[in-house]
């Protein structure tokens, strides 16, 4: 009897325990979704920060214009739309750029421009070693020219300073066309530069040449080439034949010049107007100077050309690096009148 009672009691306890657990599970299941949603964290989004480049402007796209509603069908015309008018703020056409300085003068017209008349310039010649007297004689006869530069020694002058330079030739479309240039200094032998232009002088050679007595080089004869004496007259010839060169200071032009051993291209610059004082009085001149070359011992030429005297050289200066010769005109006369 007692054993049966204990078995019944145990079964009652088990049933009550099972009922309790069922009730507990049902109650917890009603709150489980809310608890899980609160416990799970949202996903992480990585944002890449872009730093602007220092110094570069930040470009912001302009806002899009508002879209206007389409016009009603009655307002649509069959005719083509009118051409829109040019806006008042349209960018004007660019202004023309100013003309650059003249780099090379055109060939002068020797038929329309006569060479300077026959003239004798009495000079004062200043050198590194002393001062001398001198003459520059220009003669044109039968379509050809002769040019002579000669110094005359003073009692205190050195014999080595005695100079004699001659240039002769004709004229072509570029101005003076020298055929022979000779130079002599002190007691040294005369040296010559020849400009071979015609077939009789060239022989079997087809192209014109420049030859030298002191070196064996034979160089092509370029257009407008001058010698170291004829260039003094050629500069004035170019300015007379090309007035455009005188319109602006700083204009430059090139002249090939032959010495007694080589041919170099001189770049001349127009420095402007200046006055030169001598026994002639105050003379208005155009100052022209060759640009320095890479070789500091190369010859640099400066010339002051007088428009009132047919652009003849009133003053001339040759710089040879460590020496110079400067010639100043003191008197102008006809050849053979009073030298």
Q: Residue 176 above 80 pLDDT?
A: yes
Cα 255 to chain centroid, rounded: 18
Predicted pLDDT of residue 312 = 96
Reported as a pLDDT band with limits 50, 70 and 90, residue 42 is very low
Give the HSE-up count for residue 246: Cα atoms under 13 Å, Cβ half-sphere. 17
The two structure tokens encoding residue 192: 């010559």
Looking at the domain that runs over 119-333, which CATH code has it been given? 2.50.20
- Which residue reads 């008349």 in tokens? 117
pLDDT tens digits, residue range 55-94? 333 343 444 455 555 444 444 444 444 444 544 444 444 4
Span 120-147, mean pLDDT?
94
- Terminal Cα-to-Cα distance of the chain (whole angstroms): 178
The two structure tokens encoding residue 291: 């640009």
Of 32-36, 241-245, 296-300, the least confident? 32-36
Distance (Å, rounded) from C-alpha 304 to C-alpha 302?
Answer: 7
- The phi, psi pair for 241, rounded to 5°, reads -80, -15
Task: State pTM to two decimals.
Answer: 0.66
Predicted pLDDT of residue 33 = 45
pLDDT tens digits, residue range 224-279? 999 999 999 999 999 998 888 898 899 999 999 999 989 999 999 999 999 999 99
Distances in Å between the alpha carbon of 19 and those of 28, 104, 203?
14, 120, 140
Which residues, 6+ apart, have CB-to-CB distance to 322 below 8 Å?
A: 128, 297
Task: Answer yes or no: are the C-beta atoms of 221 and 208 closer than 8 Å.
Answer: yes
Average pLDDT over the chain, rounded to whole? 76
Span 113-141, mean pLDDT?
92
Reported as a pLDDT band with limits 50, 70 and 90, residue 113 is confident
Distance (Å, rounded) from C-alpha 141 to C-alpha 159?
Answer: 33
Predicted pLDDT of residue 16 = 76
β partners of residue 220: 209
Distance (Å, rounded) from C-alpha 226 to C-alpha 233?
Answer: 10
Q: Residue 103 above 60 pLDDT?
A: no
Predicted pLDDT of residue 271 = 95
Predicted pLDDT of residue 80 = 46
């Amino acid at each position: 009897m007692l054993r049966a009672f204990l078995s019944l009691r145990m079964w009652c306890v088990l049933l009550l325990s099972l009922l309790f657990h069922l009730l507990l599970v049902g109650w917890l299941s009603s709150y489980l979704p809310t608890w899980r949603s609160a416990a799970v964290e949202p996903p992480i989004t990585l944002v890449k920060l872009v730093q602007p480049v220092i110094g570069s402007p930040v470009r912001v796209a302009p806002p899009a214009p508002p879209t206007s509603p389409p016009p009603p069908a009655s307002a649509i015309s069959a005719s083509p739309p009118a051409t829109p008018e040019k806006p008042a703020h349209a960018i004007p056409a660019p202004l023309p750029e100013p003309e650059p300085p003249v780099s090379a003068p055109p060939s002068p017209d020797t038929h329309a421009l006569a060479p300077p008349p026959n003239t004798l310039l009495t000079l004062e010649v200043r050198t590194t070693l002393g001062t001398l007297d001198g003459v520059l004689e220009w003669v044109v006869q039968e379509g050809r020219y002769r040019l002579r530069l000669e110094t005359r020694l003073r009692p205190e002058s050195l014999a080595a300073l005695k100079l004699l330079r001659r240039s002769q030739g004709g004229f072509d479309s570029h101005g003076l066309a020298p055929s022979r240039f000779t130079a002599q200094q002190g007691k040294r032998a005369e040296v010559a530069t020849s400009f071979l232009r015609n077939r009789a002088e060239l022989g079997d050679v087809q192209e014109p040449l420049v030859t030298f007595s002191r070196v064996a080089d034979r160089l092509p004869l370029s257009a407008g080439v001058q010698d170291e004496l004829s260039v003094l007259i050629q500069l004035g010839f170019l300015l007379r034949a090309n007035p455009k060169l005188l319109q602006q200071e700083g204009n430059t032009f090139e002249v090939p010049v032959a010495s007694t051993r080589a041919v170099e291209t001189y770049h001349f610059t127009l420095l402007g107007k200046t006055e030169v004082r001598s026994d002639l009085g105050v003379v208005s001149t155009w100052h022209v100077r060759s640009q320095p070359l890479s070789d500091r011992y190369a010859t640099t030429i400066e010339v002051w050309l007088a428009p009132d005297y047919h652009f003849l050289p009133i003053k001339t200066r040759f710089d040879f690096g460590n020496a110079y010769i400067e010639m100043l005109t003191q008197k102008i006369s006809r050849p053979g009148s009073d030298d």
